[in-house]
Structure 1
Amino acid sequence: MTHYLIDPKDPVERQNEKLLRISEALMRRVEQDTDQTGAAYAQFERAAMLEDQVRQRTRDLEYTLDLLNQSNAALARAKHEAEHARKNLANAIEAVQEGFGLFDSNDRLVMWNSRFTLPLHDVQPCLSEGLPFNDYVTAISESRFLQLPNLVTPAQWAEQRLKRHKDLHAIFNVSLIWDRWLQVSEHRTPDGGTVVLQTDVTDIMRLERQERGKLLDSQARMLRATLDHLNQGVCIFDANARLVGWNDRIGEMLTVPVVSLRLGVDFDRLVDLLEPRFVSDVVSSRGLRDWAHQDRDRRPLRFEIRAEPDTTLDVFAQEMPDRGFVISFTDVSVERQATRALAEANELLERRVMERTLELEDALVTAERANSSKSRFVAAASHDLLQPLSAAKLYVAAVSESGESGETVQAAEKALSALGSVENIIDALLDISKLDSGAASLDITAVSVRQLLTALRDEFAPMAALKGLDLRVVPTTGSVASDPGFLRRILQNLIANAIRYTTTGRVLVGTRRQGSSLRFEVWDTGPGIAEADQERIFREFERLDRNSSVNEGLGLGLAIVERACDQLRHPLGVQSTVGQGTRFFFSAQRVNGPEEVPILKRSPAARQRLRDSGLIVLLVENDNELRRALSLLIERWGGSVLDASNAEEADALLNDLGILPDALLVDYNLGDGKQDGLSLVRQLRARDARLPARLMSANRSNELHLLCDAAQVGLMTKPINTEDLESFLFAATRGVDLT
């Protein structure tokens, strides 16, 4: 057993007291001991060293005790603060109005408040610290308070819930029984944990449902009011082909009992009621039923049915996004009657023109070539003739563009061709009248030969190809001094005659330079003209081929050529050999002309671009039939028309709508005597100087052309050429005004 001189457990004062005593004892021992070996001194040194070590150990022990006391105090404070913070956190999450749950990075439950899963009472007993997230989801999926969607099992619901848990942030609604709703939102914490918040949104969902119900009721009332104000009959069917909506107009148009139009009536039942009374040329009742019960690829369906001998309905059926469909009925009896009346009017007009032509031929036998009375009559009647003719052409053009059956389109195209022949005849008569009376206003200017011949080639190429002829047009640079309109008419008549009377071979059009002149030549390989007949062919109403129809002309083409060349001072000549062909030629003075301007041509997608542009056209025309025909044709092309009969109506209409149209079509003579069309265009261009505009008139005088040029407004002569009209509208969609 070891004994220590100084007990480390003694206080420092006690240890110092012992050391002093030991030191005194050792000093006395040294003084008394006379040992010569010096052992006593050595013992003294060891005692001194021992005293130093004891003091160092004492200081180290005191420092260590201080550090231990400080560490214990810091640990106590930290433990107190942690307990306080945990209490504060628990109080904070308990004060949150939503259900709160915290899962750690290992998806185990760490903390939650009393509202967590409170709406799911049977899940709360399962909550415990360390509960895995998968077990938590499983417990919710099996809760009897959870309202599962139709055809969804608890396992499937849990699988979908765990997929949402993989997202960084997720917010979704959960349906509970008793029409309650719980919004669940998940958010990731920086350490990879998950905070789950559960909010009772039952009141919000119910309020939203009420507001949605009110909105649907309001929309239903608006839809009903809209349907009742439509001029069309409309009926709406759901995805099961049962009637869910209709307007009063449908009952009037279909003349079915009121009890047959009730909510939930099957589509087949309505077809059964209508089948005995309606006859469709396109779709049978069986085909209509098959379309209504088609599962997919139900394309829009359009056809016409006849309710009564004088009633024609245009039917359009189209699928809706919810697999239901809507069917509209439009009464087009007036349009169809107008088409039939137009055909009858066309036949009557042709007969009248024929009769008139025969009368003119009889009159011209005894009359002089320059018959002033005839000229004045034709000039005065031109406007009245061209107005209804223009309307007729536009109506027929609208029919051919309307997507009707092949027979209807063919009939319309034939009628349009016949009207074109009538127009050509009237134009020829007007030209003869002007040339004979000396009223033709010539606008001598520099005419580009290349542009003129290129345009004529494009115009006559289809006609030549139809007859199997080789039409060759040799372009030439330079310009000539002439009237552009009459020069074009001269060449048109010569080329048309060459194609008309040539059965095989080719037609050649070109020019030759002769000093300061340019000679235009038209060659053909036709039957030729005997020398005795070469003077007679320039007489009006003179045709060498007596078997030609009236549609091929009245024999005025060469008469116009002779008179126009005479007034333009273009020397005219003809050379022909029977059985080999004929050459017509005339000369014009060459001049320095302006740069040739490229002609804007429509691309193949021009028609679709016009449909997609939403173009708004202001049409001002005092003739009701022409205005209606123009509106119908423009709307067929996809444009929207604002129509008025005079300037006052147009101004009031634009002020009411508060818009400015994209293009203007204005008649020059509005008939009210207050304002002409040119003044109206100036008035509207004061609002927008770039507004594209066309002036329509049967007046072809040079004075009107000059007025239009001064106002920078293009002139569109009547009868309206549909190609010129479409080109103008197409240019307007591109912001180009081809005046």
Structure 2
Amino acid sequence: MRARGEETLSAESQPDTPSGNPQDASLIDAIESASEAFVIWDAEDRMLFCNSRYKSFFAEPEKVRPGVRFDALVEMNIAYTSVAEISLLPAGWDPDQYRRARMSCHNLARDTFIQLRDGRWLQSCERRTREGGIVGVYTDITERKRAEEALDAAKRAAEEANLAKSRFLAAASHDLRQPLHAVGILVSALSARLEDDRQKEITAQIGECLETVSGLFDALLDISKLDAGVVTPAIAPVPLAPLMKALRREFAPLAQRKGVDLTVLDSRLAVRSDPAMLGRILRNFLSNAIKYTETGRVLVGVRRREGGLRIDVIDTGTGFDPAEAESVFREFHRLEGTAAQQGIGLGLSIADRLARLLGHRLEVATRPGFGSRFSLSAEAAEAPAVSTAAPLAPNRLLAGRRLLLIDDDPEIRRAALLLFEAWSCKAVAAAGLDEVPAALERLEGLPEALIVDYHLKRGRTGDWVAARIAERLGAPIPTVMVTGETAPELLQKVQGLGFPVLHKPLQPMRLRAVLQHLLG
């Protein structure tokens, strides 16, 4: 079985050459010895010359000789179905389609790919001569095609594995988020009611443990968000002074408990970035620096560099092999040591992906036993004016506000109502749309904000319930959507609803901040 319009040059099929011309004989011998198939057609599409390699592609090689027309060889391929596939030809063998496609490629002297019935692949390169004929060279690219197919198969397998990973993490985290969501709300509500210092200390420790677990879930959520493509940076001038102050305040207790000397230098500089994403990257760097430093120092500082700034997080911790400097940014990669058991190996991967979105550059310098430096380089910006107005106390902003919660989990409804009571809000809760009228009667007024779980019973979704409530009340109500979903496709859907979205397990302070923003 052979393939397509190609021909061959054997001794009896070679064209006459000038007698005694050694140059012509040497040229013919070189073409005959080539690994590629070679053929020349005249302006009337009659073969002038071919080598043996070309001839071997056909079912009846004895008919492939000077004088045969190209279309005759195409018909030979059709008769013997020698060709399995040709580029631009739809899947499946169709003689008419093959005839049209092959003649078109030949007449246009265009490159094409052809698969023979025996599985071999050829790359056809045809070009017009000055006399109007066509010269063709056919290269066996079977090994290249096999390598490409193996690469494509490996890529598909990797994509399928990544999708399976995302689905597993989404399912597992969704089931675990629900009870943690309720516990977090209850702890926050309890803390607001305690007066005994020892009780407050114990509650604070419980809260810290929940923060650790929430951090692990947030890492899974961040990966899902990045996979879903719903993370969009809001680039603006970001003053570094408030960020440095926040880092010092947040991480000083952790460093103190470990006996690590933490220094966060003040800075009056500013950088072009997204403040939330930049903070996420630096918090990850700082958290790792303290985690991997048993004794010694951790320093955070900013320095000018040509065309921008560089923010450094430097520690005197364990350090690691510089050969791992790139692999530490891979998902689920963890360094050796007991500190590595405290995480799941996603933090630096998230930092790297966020930095790419922001157009920032990350660097790592490390030496085993001496510590590490993680750096972020970005474009400098003019520092915006900072407001000096004193903010109102958080609870005063929400005191007396009327809230309606929609959640089909009774434990979460009870916990949330206790939390809203601690904030001095007037709040009611309903399991679904059918309980809303009774809840509104208890509220004694229209709700000023809705807090709605996205995934409700009987296939209802939070946006559908919010729309029905707005129809009944005759006006849209500011709405916060709460979800435990982490599957990339669902995250895209929820993120595109137009509501502020909070993720379980919910941190009460985040909910309070969003409500304060919505209610002005």
Indicate which of 470, 473, 479 corresponds to 2:262. Answer: 470
Distance of 1:385 and 1:470 partners within structure 2: 34
Aligned position for 1:77? none
Do 1:696 and 1:715's aligned partners in 2 also have CA atoms closer than 8 Å?
A: yes
Aligned position for 1:715? 501
Distance of 2:321 and 2:493 partners within structure 1: 42
By relative contact order (CA 8 Å, sep 6+), the higher-ranking structure is 2
* Distance change in 2, residues 1:659/1:516 (3 Å): same
Aligned position for 2:310? 519
Answer yes or no: is 1:561 the counterpart of 2:354: no
Any residues of structure 2 matched to 1:681-720 within 5 Å, and which? Answer: 694-698=480-484, 701=491, 704-705=494-495, 707-708=497-498, 714-720=500-506
Aligned position for 2:39? none
Indicate which of 233, 239, 249 corresponds to 1:443. Answer: 233
Residue aligned with 1:385, SS: helix
Aligned letter for 2:411? E
Any residues of structure 2 matched to 1:95-174 within 5 Å, and which? Answer: none
Any residues of structure 2 matched to 1:185-264 within 5 Å, and which? Answer: none
Distance of 1:674 and 1:722 partners within structure 2: 19
TM-aligned CA deviation for residue 655 of structure 1: 4.9
Distance of 1:369 and 1:533 partners within structure 2: 27
Answer yes or no: is 1:495 the counterpart of 2:283: no
Indicate which of 722, 725, 730 corresponds to 2:511. Answer: 725
Aligned position for 1:641? 427
* Distance change in 2, residues 1:513/1:647 (3 Å): farther
TM-aligned CA deviation for residue 721 of structure 1: 0.9
Indicate which of 164, 177, 181 corresponds to 1:390. Answer: 181
* Distance change in 2, residues 1:598/1:429 (3 Å): farther
TM-aligned CA deviation for residue 695 of structure 1: 3.2
TM-aligned CA deviation for residue 631 of structure 1: 1.2
Aligned position for 1:421? 212
Aligned position for 2:467? 679
Aligned position for 1:665? 451
Q: Deviations over 1:556-586 (max 9, x none)?
A: 2223223333454432211124444321112
Any residues of structure 2 matched to 1:335-484 within 5 Å, and which? Answer: 371-403=162-194, 412-435=203-226, 437=227, 439=229, 441-446=231-236, 448-450=238-240, 451-468=242-259, 469-482=261-274, 484=275
Residue aligned with 2:207, SS: helix
Residue aligned with 1:676, SS: helix
* Distance change in 2, residues 1:512/1:663 (3 Å): same
Do 2:170 and 2:485's aligned partners in 1 also have CA atoms closer than 8 Å?
A: no
Any residues of structure 2 matched to 1:20-39 within 5 Å, and which? Answer: none
Do 1:670 and 1:677's aligned partners in 2 also have CA atoms closer than 8 Å?
A: no
Distance of 1:523 and 1:667 partners within structure 2: 42
Higher mean alpha-carbon deviation, 560-569 vs 486-495, is at 560-569
Higher mean alpha-carbon deviation, 495-504 vs 523-532, is at 523-532
TM-aligned CA deviation for residue 397 of structure 1: 3.0
Distance of 2:266 and 2:480 partners within structure 1: 33
Aligned letter for 2:166? S
Distance of 2:276 and 2:167 partners within structure 1: 21
Q: Which structure would you say has the larger Rg? A: 1
Q: Deviations over 1:505-548 (max 9, x none)?
A: 44332333444443332122333333244344334444435323
TM-aligned CA deviation for residue 433 of structure 1: 4.3
Residue aligned with 2:429, SS: strand
Distance of 2:384 and 2:479 partners within structure 1: 25
Do 2:364 and 2:375's aligned partners in 1 also have CA atoms closer than 8 Å?
A: yes
Residue aligned with 2:313, SS: strand
Distance of 1:438 and 1:495 partners within structure 2: 27
Aligned position for 1:622? 408
Aligned position for 1:571? 361
Aligned position for 1:632? 418
Aligned position for 1:548? 339
Distance of 1:694 and 1:438 partners within structure 2: 21
Q: Deviations over 1:218-239 (max 9, x none)?
A: xxxxxxxxxxxxxxxxxxxxxx
Indicate which of 319, 322, 328 corresponds to 1:531. Answer: 322
TM-aligned CA deviation for residue 495 of structure 1: 1.0
* Distance change in 2, residues 1:640/1:557 (3 Å): same
Distance of 1:544 and 1:395 partners within structure 2: 35
* Distance change in 2, residues 1:674/1:660 (3 Å): closer
Do 1:502 and 1:526's aligned partners in 2 also have CA atoms closer than 8 Å?
A: yes
Aligned letter for 1:463? L
Distance of 2:462 and 2:325 partners within structure 1: 53
Aligned position for 1:170? none
Any residues of structure 2 matched to 1:580-595 within 5 Å, and which? Answer: 580-590=370-380
TM (normalized to structure 2)? 0.57
- Structure 1: gaps spanning 5 or more residues: 1-365
Aligned letter for 2:221? L
TM-align CA RMSD: 4.0
Distance of 1:597 and 1:651 partners within structure 2: 43
Do 1:694 and 1:714's aligned partners in 2 also have CA atoms closer than 8 Å?
A: yes
Residue aligned with 2:505, SS: coil
Distance of 1:454 and 1:493 partners within structure 2: 16
Residue aligned with 1:371, SS: helix
Aligned letter for 1:718? K
* Distance change in 2, residues 1:405/1:477 (3 Å): closer
* Distance change in 2, residues 1:377/1:584 (3 Å): same
Do 1:666 and 1:695's aligned partners in 2 also have CA atoms closer than 8 Å?
A: yes
